[in-house]
Structures are given as structure tokens and as C-alpha cells.
């Protein structure tokens, strides 16, 4: 390239552009991390992990430990409440019960926002669910709809109990069929829990090996594994434009999920009958119609509960119900196997309260304090979600 006698090699020009761009990004990162609105003021100022331009405090989070153990370890050095930078994002880590109670309960509305992340935006069609959506009047209506719908299958109802007991009978038969042989309880347990959720959400119960059940289990496990693993793409969103196997797998799983749930939704719309809903999808569709009727035509389209909200609620039932329940049950089995004296005491309590002539009932729970304590202790030692969904502050005090 030449102009006015000046000749510049294309390679040299490219290097200059890269150098200038890098310098500009570094300067911008330094300005952002050393002042301005990216570092919310606090009185007294919070202890903060060391940070670098662009990378933030990511180097301090390296290691083989799971995030919650690393955060706990850092808490011993920086205190129960400290700050760090995830890339350019100023983040506060809450590390004890008192602060968690304040953030989540006493000042819950102030911290009810959710950060926009690449993976969760894909997962929820732009925040059309409950867990990852920002606090708003639409979210409140959606949450009310979901709560009313779930009460149909809530604790104490015979419908939920009968569904669970039916799945338990199948699970016990599967496990007893391999008596005397080594068996991995994971797959049959996952099938049983998935069947319970499928029955609750869209009234489908599957036999082992059913292709649709296999599809549900595979896509749900794929979504859970990719979301739980996290990734730099949620810290640096521009990475989504680069080749990313994890993100590609997540998109494939979401596509499979949405195809199945959209099919079930259309089937339910055709067969929907006013009256007692058959399942969660029926209850959501009836509630959606009732809310739209009460709102009238003056409601803006973006403020309405759409089919996407109904679909994402159904999808969230799998994400929140299958993995958490099956993982907790597997840990219960593992701890009972390694503590036979606890297993014997649990069995003795069940024999005394329930006996052998009937199945356990929800009404038995108050009379099974030792079993209840064992379950709670397992969830304390092995919580399925030790690091909660990230929150953002909706108010700003100076």
C-alpha cells in the first residue's frame, strides 16, 4: 500500500492495528477497574482481591477446588464479605449466613436482579423463566402463575404422592432384578425421577429404553453439565463468536428440548378442557388465559405472559427437579452404605412408624424425625447448588 511515497507492508499495518487496539483495551480496562461506576462505593470499602486489566481477579480463582470451596478459602483471608472482579464485572461474595439472610430475605427485592449471561439467555429465551429473569411486574405475574399451578401438585396432595409412589415401585423392581450383582443405581434412579417430572409436567410416563425418555434425560443432563461447568463466555460475551464446543453442545441440547416441549404444548392446547388440569402444562395454559382475560387489551405485548413463558417454566421444572433430586438421593444412598448403623436406625424408624403393610405417606413425615434429619444432614454436607444463581443489585446507595 502506498500513499504520497509512504509504503507500508500489510503485515506491519495489521500489527500496528492490533497493538493500538490492545493498548486501547488495556487503557479502558485500567480506567474501568481503578475508578468510575464499575466499582460501586461502599462504606467502609470492601476488601477486594487483586485484579488486572481485562482479566480482573480470575488469576486468584485458579486451582482444582470447586468454586464454593475456593470462595470459602478466600473468605478466611479477606473476611465473610469481599469483592472481586470477574473480568470487568465487579462482584461481591457473600460468605456467611447473616449476610446471606440480609441479601436474600431482608433486602431481597433490592438484590433480585439477574445478570445477563450468554448461557442463561440461550437457556431461557431471553429471561422468560423464573430463576434467571429480572424482578419486574411481569416476573411477579409469572411467579404467581407458576405458584398457583404448582399448588395442584404440591406437598400433601394425593396426585403428587401417587405419581412418586408409582415411580418408586418401578425403581425398586429395577434394583431388585439385579439382586446379588453389582449395580449402578444412578441410571435407574435418574429414570425414575425423570418419569416423575415428565408425569407432572405433561402427563407422559415412559418405560425403560423409550426413545423420548432417553432424549429427555440426555438433553437435560447436557444442559445441566454445560451450565454447571460455567465458562469464560459468560464473563466475556464476545467469545460466543469464536468456536466453542461447550456452547455448541448447549445449543444442541436446547434445540432438542424446545422441539419436544413445543410439541407437548401444542398437543395440550388442542386437548385442553376447562376444569381440573391434568398436569402442569394444563394449569399454566389455563392460568395464562385467565391472566390475559383479566389484563384486557390495554396490556403491552412485552408485558404479557407468552407461550415462551409457559415453555420456559416447563423446561425449568426439569432443570430444577431432575438433577437436584437424583443427585441428593444418590448421596443419601452413598452415605447410608458407608454408615450402616445410620441405615439400621432409619430402617427401624420406618418399620415402627410405617410398617410393611403399606407405602410411606406424606402424613408420616412428622413421625419420622430421624429420617428427616438424615436427609437434611446429607443436603448440608453435599448441597446440590453450593453457589447460588448470581444476583445483581436493583438499587444503588451512595
Residue 37 predicted with pLDDT over 60: no
Domains of the chain by range and CATH? 2-106 (no CATH), 139-323 (1.10.630.10)
Q: How confident is residue 122, by pLDDT bands cut at 50, 70 and 90?
A: very high
Name the range with the highest mean pLDDT among 2-6, 12-16, 148-152.
148-152
352: cell is 415402627
Average the pLDDT over 219-223 and give the result: 90
Does the global pTM surpass 0.85? no
Per-residue pLDDT at 249: 93
Q: For residues 158 and 127, give the distance between their C-alpha atoms in angstroms, rounded to a whole number.
A: 33
Asked if 393 and 111 count as a contact pair (C-beta separation under 8 A), the reply is yes
**Chain segment 82-102, per-residue pLDDT in tens:** 999 999 999 999 999 899 999
Using the structure block, give the residue that is written with the C-alpha cell 465458562. Answer: 231
pLDDT at 287: 87
Segment 263-284 shows an average pLDDT of 89
pLDDT at 296 over 70: no
Which is nearest to 60 in space by CA: 81, 83, 27, 42? 83
Segment 325-335, tens digit of pLDDT: 999 999 999 99
**Could you write out the three-class secondary structure of the chain?**
CEECCEECCHHHHHHHHHHHHHHHHHHHHHHHHHCHHHCCCCCCCCCECCCECCCECHHHHCCCCCHHHHHHHHHHHHCCEEEEEECCEEEEEECCHHHHHHHHHHCCCCCCECCCCHHHHHHCCCCCCCCCCCCCHHHHHHHHHHHHHHHHHCCCCHHHHHHHHHHHHHHHHHHHCCCCCCCCCHHHHHHHHHHHHHHHHHCCCCCCCCHHHHHHHHHHHHHHHHHHHCCHHHCCHHHHHCCCHHHHHHHHHHHHHHHHHHHHHHHHHHHCCCCCCCCHHHHHHHHHHHHHHHHCCCCCHHHCCCHHHHHHHHHHHHHHHHHHHHHHHHHHHHHHHHCHHHHHHHHHHHHHHCCCCCCCCHHHHHHCHHHHHHHHHHHHHCCCCCCCCCCECCCCCC
Q: How far apart are CA 60 and CA 57, in angstroms?
A: 6
Q: Looking at residue 156, what is its pLDDT?
A: 52
Averaged pLDDT for residues 101-115 = 92
Query: How far apart are alpha carbons 51 and 59 in whole angstroms?
Result: 8
Residue 27 has pLDDT above 50, yes or no: no
Residue 18: pLDDT above 50? no
Q: Is the pLDDT of residue 133 over 70?
A: yes
Cross-strand pairs, 3 = 6
250: left (phi over 0), alpha (psi -120 to 50) or beta: alpha
The SS3 assignment for 212 reads: helix
| pLDDT mean across residues, the chain | 84
Distance CA 122, CA 113 (A): 18
Distance in angstroms (rounded) separating the CA atoms of residues 251 and 122: 7
- Which residue would you say has higher pLDDT here, 175 or 275? 175
Q: What pLDDT, on the 0 to 100 scale, is given for residue 39?
A: 58
Say which residue, 225 or 380, is predicted with more confidence: 380
pLDDT at site 225? 84
Residue 21 pLDDT > 60: no
Of 14-28, 227-241, 348-362, the range with the lowest mean pLDDT is: 14-28
Amino acid at each position: 500500500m502506498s500513499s504520497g511515497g509512504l509504503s507500508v507492508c500489510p503485515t506491519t499495518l495489521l500489527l500496528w492495528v492490533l497493538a493500538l487496539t490492545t493498548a486501547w483495551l488495556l487503557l479502558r480496562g485500567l480506567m474501568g477497574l481503578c475508578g468510575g461506576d464499575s466499582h460501586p462505593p461502599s462504606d467502609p470499602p470492601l476488601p477486594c482481591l487483586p485484579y488486572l486489566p481485562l482479566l480482573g481477579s480470575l488469576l486468584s480463582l485458579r486451582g482444582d477446588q470447586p468454586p464454593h470451596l475456593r470462595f470459602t478459602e478466600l473468605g478466611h483471608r479477606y473476611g465473610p464479605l469481599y469483592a472481586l472482579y470477574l473480568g470487568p464485572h465487579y462482584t461481591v461474595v457473600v460468605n456467611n449466613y447473616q449476610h446471606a439472610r440480609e441479601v436474600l430475605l431482608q433486602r431481597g427485592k433490592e438484590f433480585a436482579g439477574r445478570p445477563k449471561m450468554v448461557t442463561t439467555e440461550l437457556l431461557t429465551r431471553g429471561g422468560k423463566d423464573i430463576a434467571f429473569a429480572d424482578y419486574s411486574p411481569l416476573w411477579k405475574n409469572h411467579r404467581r402463575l407458576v405458584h398457583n399451578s404448582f399448588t395442584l401438585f404440591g406437598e400433601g396432595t394425593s396426585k403428587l404422592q401417587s405419581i412418586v409412589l408409582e415411580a418408586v415401585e418401578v425403581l425398586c423392581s429395577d434394583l431388585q432384578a439385579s439382586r446379588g450383582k453389582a449395580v449402578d443405581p444412578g441410571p435407574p434412579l435418574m429414570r425414575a425421577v425423570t418419569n416423575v417430572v415428565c408425569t407432572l409436567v405433561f402427563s407422559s410416563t415412559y418405560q425403560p429404553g423409550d426413545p423420548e425418555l432417553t432424549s429427555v434425560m440426555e438433553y437435560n443432563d447436557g444442559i445441566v453439565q454445560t451450565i454447571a461447568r460455567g465458562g469464560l463466555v459468560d464473563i466475556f460475551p464476545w467469545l460466543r463468536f469464536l468456536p466453542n464446543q461447550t456452547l455448541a453442545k448447549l445449543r444442541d441440547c436446547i434445540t432438542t428440548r424446545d422441539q419436544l416441549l413445543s410439541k407437548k404444548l401444542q398437543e395440550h392446547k388442542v386437548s385442553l378442557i376447562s376444569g381440573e388440569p391434568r398436569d402442569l402444562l394444563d394449569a399454566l395454559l389455563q392460568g395464562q388465559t385467565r391472566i390475559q382475560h383479566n389484563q384486557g387489551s390495554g396490556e403491552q405485548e412485552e408485558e404479557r405472559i407468552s407461550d415462551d413463558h409457559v415453555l420456559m417454566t416447563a423446561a425449568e421444572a426439569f432443570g430444577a427437579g431432575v438433577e437436584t433430586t437424583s443427585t441428593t438421593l444418590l448421596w443419601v444412598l452413598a452415605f447410608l452404605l458407608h454408615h450402616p448403623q445410620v441405615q439400621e436406625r432409619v430402617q427401624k424408624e420406618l418399620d415402627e412408624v410405617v410398617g410393611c403393610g403399606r407405602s410411606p405417606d406424606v402424613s408420616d413425615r412428622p413421625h419420622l424425625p430421624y429420617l428427616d434429619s438424615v436427609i437434611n444432614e446429607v443436603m448440608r454436607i453435599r448441597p446440590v447448588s453450593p453457589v447460588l444463581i448470581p444476583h445483581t443489585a436493583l438499587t444503588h446507595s451512595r
